[in-house]
Structure 1
Amino acid sequence: MISLQHRSIAHFDMDSFFVSVECRDDNSLKGKPLLIGGISDRGVVASCSYEARRYGIHSAMPMKMALKLCPHAIVRKGDMEKYSQLSGEVTELIAEKAPLYEKSSIDEFYLDLTGMDKYFGSMKWTAELRQHIMKETRLPVSFGLASNKMISKVATNEAKPNGQMEIMFGEEKAFLAPMPVEKLPMVGKETAGQLRRRGVETVKTLSEIPVTLLEAWLGKNGISLWNKANGIDESPVVPFHEQKSISTENTFSSDTIDMQFIHAELVRMTEKIAFELRQQDKLTGCVTVKIRYSDFETVTKQMTIPYSGSDHVLLEKVKELFHKLYDRRLLIRLIGVRFSHLVQGNYQISLFDDTQEMIALYQAIDNIKNRFGWQYLMKGTNAVPPAKRGAVTKPAVMPYPKVR
């Protein structure tokens, strides 16, 4: 059995993915400050080119502010359907060749190449895969190769744009030492600020602080931070299809054709599993609706969609599928909703149409659900039990509590 210390892990990142796709399809955009995101005054930047970053622009910044920083920037709304399709193509190219891979987001992948040195040479093999992806997609790709996931990701960031880097086993601490603490994954402005106020500016200084002291400063995060600063990360590469779907269904105590009640159930169920998606920092690329009629015939219909984790996007697709599927006009015994084709990703992936207010609203809603439970905050149609809405049947679940 090969020790975790001697693993060989590659991290692939499609450089400025949305921007690169737009530049590939329109050569006139290359080398210019380009913003992808909401095109209204209240829109938000989903991605930006390296040229735009020089003006201090970054993802999730209000578009209005970004255009103040760089008035001559070019703004494109973006095409999530196209990006999702290309992400799938890259996934297929990696799946054809990699012994074990994890799709960590729409444009990032980890590959476990442990043991491959005996036959091919991990660096040679990884570099050839990078060239293959770039040839097939005409998109830039960067990668880092190291003994664990954390080091390989940091190496990728250092290799960008459109580069590659290998950190040899045993050189992890020396590689990290001169970097500012912000270079470590998951070290945000708040944590970096706490460290800098204590005189900790580089990873080297951080690595020399006793772990017990870091734990006293930052709690459990202090232990994780100490491990990172010392180049330690034993997290495995998780196969992409580990979790195939998130789903829920409801069998009614009495069969029904009350459309108002059924629509309310679809909203409730969609919101429930969409919240689960966001809790796990995942997005779905496929929505399925299931109906079981009173005669026990069961039918399903699914739809491939641009990756999303947003209630309003997913609910629209769920309702559309239900109306296409429900064609027998019989009493309904059961309905179900399933999200599949899951990938890691956060809400920023869906910023093309959303405003600052919409993003803030989702964050506030999820904070309330985290504190009190998902069922304590739902759309208005679900706040009142079905019987009070004139429903002729009741679901085999507890009545929904009112928002508190």
Structure 2
Amino acid sequence: MQRAIVHLDLDTFFVSCERQRDSKLDHVPLIIGGGERGVVACSSYEARKFGVRTAMPMRLALRLCPQAKVVKGDMDLYSKKSREVTDIIGENAPVMEKSSIDEFYLDVSGMDKFFGCYKWTNELAGKVIKESGLPISFSLSVNKTVSKIATGEGKPLGNLEIIQAQVKPFLNPLPVDKIPMVGKETSQLLSRIGVRRIQTLSEMPKEMLQQILGKNGLELWKKANGIDNSPVEAYKERKSIGTEHTFHHDTINLELLNGLLLGMVETLAYQLRQEQWLTSTVTVKIRYANFDTETKQRRISYTSADDILIDVSKDLFRQLFTRRMRLRLIGIQFSGLVHGTYQINLFEDTLEKIALYQAMDKMRDRYGVDAVMRTSGASNLKKGK
């Protein structure tokens, strides 16, 4: 049976949410993002005409489009609207994967027996637009890679169908960076050896690509040839992540306790970024030697940044640990999670902070989660007892 995979993508999602809240923002160049030292989280099509792009430094964006209206961003609003759209799609689709805060994959294989896959998807997109008030694009094709690329090419309000016979003619003339797994570094590397179009990439020997790009070479060759067997995985929302540490010997050593908490927070924050989550609630838990257990939590703006989560966790711990009694357990939990591709809070962070976290996470990816940690956190994680 021929696979039928749908990719749906809410058009300029953050911008659309803000315009729904304030119609005065319609048809004007609009940038969602941080302050002057921050980056662009989303831009309207009016701003994109001037060259403004996601993750661009705000200073550069405003030089390119000085007349743009800048809005800081509201993750609570975006999360609410994302859940609204998720519910609409989930109630109608046989199998739905939520790949980010504003993107979805559906497996509608076999539906042609009853409806028409394209007709059904078009009606679903219309339902999303009508009930949520947000614009959405979609494409229908034989796998996730082709569908995602096609959605990008069809925006805004696109509704493409790429059947098997059209896959190669559709992909071949496109730039290599249209393939989802091709980032800036890979694109520049391929460009240096004369590979700028997907067709050229698809015709390269697989062995050569593996030599150049390592284990990702074969996967990239497959995608360039329109081959992608990855399944649509049913969406399950994760509620929280957390960890606890029980001491071998009850302790009242504040240096040890604070250092251990710091290390736990850093490890969990890294996990958030790796799995592309942002948290909105921090909970600290302690258990005294007499087994009395207390917790305290705080709502925060969505983030996955170590420094913010460390400050909040330490403050909660200070409020909790009020007795002159030894502790036998300390724990930390992040909940109220939002799944998305925005691994760092683009509305708050500066370019310097984003660069720092990216460098730290690269080190952790290569050498392990404990490779880069603040001194007290690292030492106390190892000796906590």
SS, match of residue 187 in structure 1: coil
- Aligned-partner Cα distance in 2 for 1:137–1:328: 50
CA contact (8 A) 1:284 1:343 kept: no
Q: CA deviation at 1:244?
A: 5.7
Distance 1:194 1:375, change over 3 A: closer
Q: 1:54-81 deviations in whole A, cap 9, x for unaligned?
A: 1122122221111111111111111122
Q: What is the match of residue 16 of structure 1?
A: 12
Number of residue pairs aligned between Structure 1 and Structure 2? 383
| Segment drifting more, 247-256 vs 191-200 | 191-200
Q: 1:99-133 deviations in whole A, cap 9, x for unaligned?
A: 22111111111112222222232222222221222
Q: Is 2:121 the partner of 1:126? A: yes
- Aligned-partner Cα distance in 2 for 1:157–1:315: 38
Distance 1:199 1:43, change over 3 A: closer
Q: CA deviation at 1:299?
A: 5.5
CA contact (8 A) 1:84 1:306 kept: no
1:285-296 to 2 correspondences below 5 Å: 286-296=281-291
Q: CA deviation at 1:152?
A: 0.8
> What percentage of residue pairs aligned between the two structures are identical?
52
1:1-400 to 2 correspondences below 5 Å: 6-39=2-35, 41-241=36-236, 245-284=240-279, 286-296=281-291, 298=293, 307-319=302-314, 322=317, 331-340=326-335, 341=337, 343-348=339-344, 350-379=345-374, 381-382=376-377, 385=380, 398-399=382-383
Distance 1:237 1:314, change over 3 A: farther
SS, match of residue 258 in structure 2: helix
Q: CA deviation at 1:381?
A: 4.5
Q: What is the match of residue 391 of structure 1?
A: none
SS, match of residue 368 in structure 1: helix
Q: What is the match of residue 393 of structure 1?
A: none
Distance 1:313 1:165, change over 3 A: farther
Distance 1:381 1:197, change over 3 A: closer
What TM-score comes out, normalization by structure 2 length?
0.88
Structure 1 residue runs of 5 or longer lacking an equivalent are 386-396
- Aligned-partner Cα distance in 1 for 2:234–2:300: 22
CA contact (8 A) 1:147 1:168 kept: yes
What TM-score comes out, normalization by structure 1 length?
0.84
SS, match of residue 157 in structure 1: helix
Structure 2 residue runs of 5 or longer lacking an equivalent are none
- Aligned-partner Cα distance in 1 for 2:299–2:326: 28
- Aligned-partner Cα distance in 2 for 1:204–1:372: 36
CA contact (8 A) 1:81 1:305 kept: no
Distance 1:136 1:329, change over 3 A: farther
Q: CA deviation at 1:328?
A: 8.0
